[in-house]
Amino acid sequence: MADKAKHAFGALERVDESISKGIIDSYDILFVKDADGKPYVGWVDKDGNKVIVQEDDEVVVVNSLPESGEVGKIYVFEENAFVWNGSEFTNLCKPTDVSALESQIAELETEITTKVDAKKVQTMIEEYADSVVEVVEF
């Protein structure tokens, strides 16, 4: 299993090849287009198989998560997407908690500013501050 889920963008016909090459793997979220340019969303399940949402009724907006769900259906709740794996819901968009890294970032920022122009450091921080998922193209 991958250390963290990635958001992957690419061609639907290249998903299997990308899985076999290790470019994308379990729990990665897929945003793909078919040969005609039609967009699809999906993911790679825990066993490394692609799951592509085919029908509009496979995405359901709910006010609360039910006690159980249907495998293959995406449940949208409180701006997050969940799938039922047969025994529990898995959050497809769980945000990364960066609060634990704040002190490390502060220490590194102090060290860097003594070595590098502060303006360049600020630019780097602004560019990467909102990065919480790895994005790959295949």
Domain borders along the chain are 1-52, 56-95, 99-131
Average pLDDT, the chain: 76
92: CB partners within 8 A, 6+ apart: 5, 29, 43, 74, 80, 81, 82, 83
C-alpha closest to that of 42 among 69, 19, 67, 68? 19
More confident residue, 48 or 113: 48
Q: What pTM does this model have? A: 0.45
pLDDT at 17: 93
Between residues 24 and 112, the one the model is more confident about: 24
Residue 117 has pLDDT above 70, yes or no: no
* 31-62 pLDDT, tens digit each: 888 888 887 888 888 888 888 877 666 778 88
How sure is the predictor about 98, in pLDDT bands with cuts at 50, 70 and 90?
low
